Amino acid sequence: MTKNIAVIRGDGIGPEIVEQALKVLNKVAEIYGHTFNYTDVDMGGCAIDKWGNPLPEEMLKKCVESDSVLLGAVGGEKWNSVPGDMRPEKGLLRLRAGMGVYSNNRPAKIWKQLADASPLKKEIVDKGIDFIIVRELIGGIYFGEHKTEEENGEKKAVDVLAYTESEIERIGRIGFETARKRNKKLCSVEKSNVLDSSRLWKAVMHRLAEEYPDVELSDMLVDNCAMQIVKNPAQFDVVVTENMFGDILSDEASMITGSIGMIPSSSLGATSCGLYEPIHGSAPDIAGMDIANPIGTILSAAMMLRYSFDMPEEADCIENAVSAVLDDGFRTADIMSDGCKKVGCSEMGKLIISKLSRK
Ligand code: IPM
Ligand code: MG
């Protein structure tokens, strides 16, 4: 099969982690007889420097016209003082909206080899951590009106959190469908004791539940959910939630699995053209030092093969190779523990490639 992949290296550690993921994809292409063509796309701080815009229109067009997009990370201190709507992160938000990828899937699964790297007590980890956060990605407060104005002699800042029923319904369906393919437990997370948008969220989820009688729906307030994720993560199968809550809870969920550097994500909308990115940021403090963990990006590439290209065997091949390298005791600095062998970003990439083979 031939697939055209738009590649956004981005800022900070972005270029080095993407490099490793592309090497992995090239090896997979060689093993399975596929052709992956790559088109470079500038987005984020590097696009601001080059084009004065975090996502120029023609760059978005390249993404929309591709079969899928692989992204490293964007942002960094260097661009902290640029106006809000020209920040590197705004490029990412515009990319997600422009591609229409409303459903962001963030797995929180502990690798057995990394149980020691989790900050949770062993007895909690031993009960198992394996759930998915389905995050609404192109609505809510990140996409509402933002403004800062003068009022009564002081500044006032406003960010609007709005959801329509149809926006909630389409992400709700993804939540139910995802649960249906797993252990059939869906937890809808909101703040319905305070927010109107959450009360609507909850009502729509319960209306949808009637269409999915095989899925057990529960409700949880977001503050309680933050607590339950560290207290008893084994209770979760699929969590569905709005954009900002999902952003925050997915960072928390990733950390209990050992390292945010391990977690991939997929974002999909109405077509098979998806956006695949690790959930971590651009980590400018370690950029260019060859010590970043490329596994989140490599696993994102695996998700691309699985969910957008219908190549489950090839995706398994990558995931098994990652597991084999962890079995051999190799670790990047973020997941290092006693008795393991510390390796850098490019070495980790090489080790994973050495384990890729056709079953
Ligand atoms: C994430 C990030 C982004 C988000 C930022 C960089 C805009 O935190 O993907 O979780 O908030 O969605
Ligand atoms: Mg985030």
The answer, yes or no, to whether residue 84 has pLDDT greater than 90, is: no
Q: Residue 123 is encoded by which pair of tokens?
A: 């007895």
| Maximum distance among all Cα pairs of the chain, rounded to whole angstroms | 69
The residue-averaged pLDDT of 182-206 equals 98
The residue-averaged pLDDT of 313-330 equals 98
How far CA 144 is from CA of 162, 244, 246, 346, in Å, comes to: 7, 12, 16, 40
pLDDT value of position 85: 85
Whole-number Å distance, alpha carbon 54 to ligand 2 midpoint, is 18
Rounded to the nearest 10 degrees, the angle between the axes of helix 345-354 and helix 312-327 is: 120
| Helix, strand or coil, per DSSP, at residue 6 | strand
| pLDDT confidence band for 284 (50 / 70 / 90) | very high
pLDDT in tens, 92-131: 999 999 999 999 999 999 999 998 889 999 999 999 999 9
The answer, yes or no, to whether residue 261 has pLDDT greater than 90, is: yes
Whole-number Å distance, alpha carbon 247 to ligand 1 midpoint, is 6
Q: Residue 310 is encoded by which pair of tokens?
A: 């219908």
For the CA of 73, the nearest atom of ligand 1: 6
pLDDT value of position 109: 94
User: How do the domains of the chain map onto residue ranges?
Assistant: 1-107+259-359, 119-256
What single DSSP character describes residue 333? G
Which amino acid does the sequence have at 353? I
Q: Do domains 1-107+259-359 and 119-256 have the same CATH topology?
A: yes
pLDDT in tens, 56-70: 999 999 999 999 999
Considering every ligand atom shown, identify the ligand nearest to the alpha carbon of residue 136 and give its number: 1
For the CA of 93, the nearest atom of ligand 1: 7
Whole-number Å distance, alpha carbon 12 to ligand 1 midpoint, is 15
Nearest protein Cα to ligand 1, atom 11: 247
The answer, yes or no, to whether residue 359 has pLDDT greater than 90, is: no
For the CA of 104, the nearest atom of ligand 1: 9
CATH T-level topology, domain 1-107+259-359:
Isopropylmalate Dehydrogenase (3.40.718)
| Helix, strand or coil, per DSSP, at residue 117 | helix
pLDDT value of position 323: 97
Give the binding-site residues of ligand 1, using a 6 Å CB cut-off: 75, 89, 92-93, 247, 279
Share of the chain above pLDDT 70, in %: 100
Nearest protein Cα to ligand 1, atom 4: 247
Indicate the length of the chain as a whole number: 359
pLDDT value of position 262: 95
- Residues recognised as catalytic: 142, 191, 223, 247, 251
Whole-number Å distance, alpha carbon 31 to ligand 2 midpoint, is 34
Report CA dihedral (171, 172, 176, 179) to the nearest 10 degrees.
Answer: 60
CA-closest candidate to residue 136, choices 161, 109, 110: 161
Model pTM score? 0.94
CATH T-level topology, domain 119-256:
Isopropylmalate Dehydrogenase (3.40.718)
pLDDT in tens, 131-179: 999 999 999 999 999 999 999 999 999 999 999 999 999 999 999 999 9
Considering every ligand atom shown, identify the ligand nearest to the alpha carbon of residue 73 and give its number: 1
